[in-house]
């Protein structure tokens, strides 16, 4: 995903916690320049008052949206209308939708159909249809956990309540992605593997499993081999990965003497 995108950040104030807004904005900055930052809600309600100072600190514009009918969420409609207005203004080339509400699934799909990059941020309770409608989806719990590590002043074991155990399904996803990209010897460039994983599963993130990067996650799984190679164009070494299963098969196919 490009990191020079001009992004419109639209936040559902009724459906997202305020305690890690700073971490959210820092995360968003990794993917582009948030040129439009808006948060939607009924600011006459007392429970949204905690947002006031946070909005000033992060230069986020509050958008007032009254609840016209009891039991209905008018915030969603306001966000969707604004998103389409911004889309047609052609001022941005990406959107960040911050919400755990599946009502934004169709909006994310429509924005991607128009060629926009769409990043979603929400809690782990977010329904899967909204997650897969985005190019990338980031869990709030990850950002909250990173904040705790930062405040501790160094490396710290991730909060067990926010870290997922890697399953065989996750390992199979990595393995098939390596196979999809591998050369005749079974090796695949890890950067390409990471990009493909993101396309296949937008919420795939090493931080979900307590790792800051993909490399240490791969190293923690005995099923994969990792190799560092010198780069002719850069001082940085390139990292390649392959399935050990592929390596074993390669040995078995050697011609007999």
Asked whether residue 71 is assigned to any structural domain, the reply reads yes
Same-domain status, 33 and 124: yes
pLDDT at 65: 78
How many residues belong to the chain? 257
pLDDT bin (cut points 50, 70, 90) of residue 68 is low
Q: Are 135 and 32 in contact (CB under 8 A)?
A: no
pLDDT at 92: 95
- Look up the CATH number of the domain holding residue 83: 3.40.50.1010
pLDDT at 3: 64
Same-domain status, 110 and 179: no
Pairing of β 61-64 and β 5-12? unpaired
The last residue of one of the domains, among 151, 183, 199, is: 151
Residue 249, pLDDT above cutoff 80: no
- pLDDT average, residue stretch 41-64: 85
Residues sharing a CB contact under 8 Å with residue 35, sequence separation 6 or more, in sequence order: 6, 7, 8, 91, 92
State the chain's mean pLDDT as an integer: 85
Give the residue numbers spanning the domain of 225.
Answer: 168-252
Q: Report the domain count for the chain.
A: 2
Asked whether residue 90 is assigned to any structural domain, the reply reads yes
Residue 205, pLDDT above cutoff 90: yes
- Locate 65 and state its tokens: 């949206």
Residue 255, pLDDT above cutoff 50: no
Closest CA to 217 of 148, 166, 155, 142: 166
The last residue of one of the domains, among 111, 126, 151, is: 151
Asked whether residue 60 is assigned to any structural domain, the reply reads yes
Residues sharing a CB contact under 8 Å with residue 222, sequence separation 6 or more, in sequence order: 244
Same-domain status, 116 and 220: no
Same-domain status, 138 and 225: no
Asked whether residue 59 is assigned to any structural domain, the reply reads yes
pLDDT at 236: 78
Q: For the segment 148-188, what is each residue's pLDDT rounded down to a tens digit?
A: 555 545 444 445 556 788 999 999 999 999 999 999 999 99
Percent of the chain with pLDDT over 70: 84
Same-domain status, 144 and 205: no
Q: For the segment 212-239, what is each residue's pLDDT rounded down to a tens digit?
A: 999 999 999 999 999 998 877 767 789 9
Asked whether residue 106 is assigned to any structural domain, the reply reads yes
pLDDT at 76: 82
The alpha carbon of 250 is separated from its chain's Cα centroid by a whole number of angstroms, namely 36
Asked whether residue 217 is assigned to any structural domain, the reply reads yes
- Look up the CATH number of the domain holding residue 209: 3.30.420.610
Q: Are 51 and 18 in contact (CB under 8 A)?
A: yes
The last residue of one of the domains, among 151, 185, 219, is: 151
Q: Are 14 and 72 in contact (CB under 8 A)?
A: no
Residue 12, pLDDT above cutoff 60: yes
């Amino acid at each position: 995903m490009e990191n020079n995108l001009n992004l419109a950040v639209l936040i559902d104030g009724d459906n997202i916690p305020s305690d890690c807004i700073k971490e959210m904005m820092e995360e968003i900055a990794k993917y582009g320049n948030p040129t439009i930052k808006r948060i939607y809600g009924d600011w006459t309600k007392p429970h949204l008052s905690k947002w006031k100072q946070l909005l000033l600190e992060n230069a986020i514009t509050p958008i007032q949206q009254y609840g016209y009918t009891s039991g209905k969420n008018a915030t969603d409609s306001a966000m969707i209308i604004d998103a389409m207005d911004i889309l047609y203004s052609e001022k941005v080339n990406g959107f960040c939708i911050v919400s755990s509400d599946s009502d934004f699934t169709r909006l994310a799909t429509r924005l991607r159909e128009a060629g926009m990059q769409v990043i979603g941020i929400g809690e782990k309770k977010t329904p899967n249809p909204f997650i897969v409608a985005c190019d990338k989806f980031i869990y709030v719990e990850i950002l909250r956990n990173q904040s705790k590590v930062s405040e501790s002043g160094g490396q710290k074991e991730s909060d067990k309540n926010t870290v997922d155990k890697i399953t065989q399904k996750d390992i199979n996803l990595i393995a098939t992605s390596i196979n999809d990209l591998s050369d005749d010897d079974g090796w695949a460039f890890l950067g390409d593997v990471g990009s493909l994983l993101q396309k296949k599963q937008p919420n795939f993130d090493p931080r979900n499993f307590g790792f800051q990067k993909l490399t240490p996650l791969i190293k923690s799984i005995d099923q994969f081999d990792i190799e560092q190679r010198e780069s002719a164009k850069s001082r940085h070494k390139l990292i390649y990965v392959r399935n050990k299963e592929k390596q074993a098969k390669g040995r078995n196919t050697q011609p007999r003497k």
